[in-house]
Amino acid sequence: MNYNTELIKDMACEVTKGIKEAISSQMAGNPPGIQGVETMMRDLLRQVGAEALGQYLTAQPSIPGATIPCACGGELHYQRKREASILSVFGRVKYRRGYYSGCSCGQGQAPLDKAFGLTPGGVSAGLAELLALAGIELAFDQSRRWVEKYLGFSASENTIRAATEDCGEQQQAYEEELQRHSQEEQWLQERLRSISSQPERLYGSIDAAKVRIEARDEIEKAAQKEAWRDMKVGCWYELESVPSAQRSVRQKKKYDREQAVYRAKYLHYYCDIADAKTFGKMVWARGCRDKADLAREIVFVCDGAIWIWNLVTLYYPQAVQIVDWYHALEHLEKIATTAFDQLAERQVWLATVTEALWNGQVQEVICACQNLAAQCEKVQGEAMYFANNAERMNYARFRAAGYAIGSGTVESACKQIVVQRLQKSGAQWEVDGAVRTAKARAAWLSNEWDLLMNPWSTLPLAV
């Protein structure tokens, strides 16, 4: 936003005058360095901003009439100008506005507060966004210290928690609305008419990571039990080839082996602590948001969890299903470690089946695993993994078709959303708090933050 240059210069002159006066009166003979000047100037500008915002709000016309309607259906009568305060990006701000009361229901109202989305004693929209950004990155106790250092005033841990969870609650409401719409034929038809393009090849991945939920009922508390719950995480994305000049050392080695290196773009994450059936509705709804139902080709790359493939088959039966290559290797390594005592035998067997799997000889791998299972009961479950996912492991065919065979995108999502934020040392969550914090963080990582802030941005005070 551009402002009048002369106005900025005049205000800068006043700020400079204030800083000089402060230095001469408080630091005579010992002038501060540049860091001290910056700190003083920032604090002065913050105080000026708080005063200016208070004056701006107070100057707003806030007396539309002698009476206004009450929410209960009665009438509220103008009383007087009443003082209120909010916590803003400038710190505590005081202002005066017209106040109405006198209804039989006992409730009062300030039209200015309603018009600007203000809650006396609460947090402004602009500050709430900054607090939420701190809350999705850092533990709430660390966020409090971070905010104080950056903004120059303190906000309580609970205030940061509330701002963060409010953002997550808005994202949750948006996703619930999206789920309702995605089940409505009329909405889907109208959406179809409004879409001008569709993805050529869209990827989907689903995974889960553990979140520690604190004991809530009396029995659990008495037993000092903690429940670890699955935070299910999904991602829709597209892939593009990495140009040779931009490939890292690891990517160059990967290209030498696979003749293809991809990177994800247009990533959109979603998450919830819910059973598979409930989460499946979100898989479909978020897919509609990313035009998955209209994509010419859908590819799911996931691990071998049965609940994941059941959801994919239910909602996207036409999708190409690929078991993540690296998960398959882990299962082969587990079989080899369990079945062979001698390292040399283990390595020979593992090299043989890995090569066969890479070349699409899935039945040979299944036979090799079953042969070991007949001799070693402990590997029977792992052997079944390959038999159950045979169609999803034809890696030679997948590579020939140009499909990615690794699910690193959703694994990265689990790390960024769950591990880095919800699994911080000592962290314990209530379910609602964990879900809302994760949803707010997912919105930020998906570049959907501005959409999330939109309800606030329509209010005059929002920034």
Q: Using one digit for the tens of pLDDT, what is the confidence trace for 149-160?
A: 999 999 999 999
Task: Enumerate the domain spans of the chain.
Answer: 12-122, 185-414
CB 363 within 8 A of CB 386: no
Residue 422 to residue 194: CA distance in whole angstroms: 38
Helices then strands, counting H and E runs in the chain, come out as 19, 8
Which whole number is the average pLDDT over 298-324? 95
Which whole number is the average pLDDT over 12-29? 82
Query: Which letter does DSSP use for residue 66 in this model?
Result: S
Start-end of H helices in 104-156: 111-116, 125-137, 140-151
Could you tell me the pTM of the whole model?
0.88
> Sign of the CA dihedral 430, 167, 452, 110?
positive
Q: For residue 233, how many other CB atoms are within 10 A of its CB?
A: 26
Q: Kindly tell me if the per-residue pLDDT of 457 is higher than 70.
A: no
Confidence of residue 220 (pLDDT cuts 50, 70, 90): low
Q: What tokens were used for 13?
A: 């002159």
Q: State the angle between helix axes of 185-194 and 157-182 in degrees (0 to 180), rounded to the nearest 10.
A: 90
Confidence of residue 51 (pLDDT cuts 50, 70, 90): very high
Task: Provide the pLDDT for residue 222.
Answer: 58
Confidence of residue 459 (pLDDT cuts 50, 70, 90): very low
Task: Note the pLDDT tens digit of each residue in 241-256.
Answer: 888 888 888 878 777 7
Task: Provide the pLDDT for residue 180.
Answer: 95
Confidence of residue 347 (pLDDT cuts 50, 70, 90): very high
Q: Is 428 helix (H, G, I), strand (E, B) or coil?
A: coil
Task: Note the pLDDT tens digit of each residue in 196-212.
Answer: 888 999 999 999 999 99
